[in-house]
Amino acid sequence: MSAAPAVSTTSVPTAPSTRTAVLAIVALALGGFAIGTTEFVTMGLLPDIARGVDATIPEAGHVISAYALGVVVGAPVLAALGARLPRRRLAMGLMVAFVVGNTLSALAPGYGSLVLSRFVAGLPHGAYFGVASLIAASLVPAHLRGRAVSSVMLGLAAANVAGVPAATWLGQQLGWRSAYWAVVVIGAVTLLAVLTVVPSVPGRSEASIRTELGALRRPQVVLTLLVATVGFGGMFAMYSYIAPIVTEVAGRSAGFVPVVLLAFGVGGVLGTVLGGRLADRALFRSLVGATVATGVLLGVMAVAAGNALALIVTVFTIAAAASTMVVLLQLRLMEVAGEAQMLGAALNHSALNAANALGAWLGGLVIAAGLGYRAPSVVGAGLAVLGLGFLAASAVLRRRELRAAA
């Protein structure tokens, strides 16, 4: 396969300086930090939210599902609708929608309104990362595009290390609504930063909803989305049940869970940085390697979970491999989506949220069947193997396409 992602991007009118490119990418990554914080802080504050809106904890869990559904729906729709718009303007519009959704979340008077507001907050998630990835790629030379895109994604990874713990602590001290207000502030700062330091980048004037959504007819796009949904779903099969794995399998107290989550967050940051560098060298081969590594490590997790130190090391390496996979999937979709690159980049986040739902559901099934808390990791390894199957099909199809072109 290609040695670097063959991503054609709409360039800025004049090549920006290195300083301008760095500042612009940092501004875009700040938006990713805000999005990552709001996506995961709800999980840490679920009991507080349940009490605040007079709901049970399982009912409050629907608040998380509503956000994920917003991502799945919003990513393709908003990316297709916004393809013709200037990209900085689109990024700002999506961040405005994000701020509005989180403001409504902080003000929600009851359970129903909170569920609806979380759906609204999730709508711009995927499209923002799509347009931010394209802007970042347009600011650097072709051989650095993988690193530029991974730098935007680094905001999402950093949220798990700093944003989510800080917002969770704030919500516990000042009430769960304060966590969403904190996200609103970060979103507003992002909006100002994007306006100030991100260069103007034109959209695709010839784009239409039909041509954008036409990318979904491309077999390579569909296969890559299946890798993201099924192959990456394996990580969520394990991670969704990390708290009981710590307490029931490793035999540690609930106070040890944050330590494991911190290891996961740090591994995610490392994997995001690594993913960009690997993409610039060999995108497809690196994606295969990351999928293999994720599957193998999930298998190891089923054995190592009983030892606290081994658990931390394994969770760290799973996070690194899986985060590498996220960046590579993003760039692979941008590569195979043709002219609909923003849609391809946005769809990655729809697929990852579908992976979240699939992995958690399958993990819950094996636990309910009495197979214990190690079983979701075995399920995760199996899902990674299925993801490899879709990658193999993609490689075979690519060889046929090259022979046909020759």
Same domain, 223 and 143: no
Q: pLDDT of 275-323, one tens digit each?
A: 999 998 989 999 999 999 999 999 999 999 999 999 999 999 999 999 9
Q: Which among 170, 188, 207 is the end of a domain?
A: 207
Of 178, 207, 236, which residue is a domain's last? 207
Cβ neighbours for 149, distance < 8 A, ≥ 6 positions apart = 133, 136, 137, 276, 279, 327, 330, 331, 334
- Give ∠ CA 169-356-176 in degrees, rounded to 5: 25
**Residue 54 counted as domain residue:** yes
pLDDT digits (tens, 9 = 90+) for 159-169: 988 888 888 88
In a domain, 170, yes or no: yes
Residues 62/176, Cβ–Cβ less than 8 Å:
no
Tell me which residue range forms the domain holding 314. Answer: 214-406
Q: Is 272 found in the same domain as 248?
A: yes
370: left (phi over 0), alpha (psi -120 to 50) or beta: left
Asked if 133 and 233 sit in the same domain, the reply is no
Do the domain assignments include residue 4? no
- Examine the domain organization and report whether 267 and 360 are in the same domain: yes
> Which residue is listed with tokens 């099909």?
393
pLDDT digits (tens, 9 = 90+) for 55-112: 887 777 788 888 988 998 998 889 888 888 888 999 999 999 999 999 999 999 999 9
**Whole-prediction pTM value?**
0.83
- Which tokens hold the place of 119? 């759906």
Q: Specify the pLDDT at position 18.
A: 82
Q: Could you tell me if 21 and 109 lie in one domain? A: yes
Give the model's pLDDT for residue 1: 45
6 belongs to a structural domain: no
Residue among 361, 356, 238, 249 at smallest CA distance from 294: 238
pLDDT of residue 4: 44
Helical packing angle, 219-226 and 375-405, nearest 10° = 160
Is 242 found in the same domain as 154? Answer: no
Contacts of 42 (CB under 8 A, 6+ apart): 49, 63, 64, 67, 118
Query: Is 1 a domain residue?
Result: no
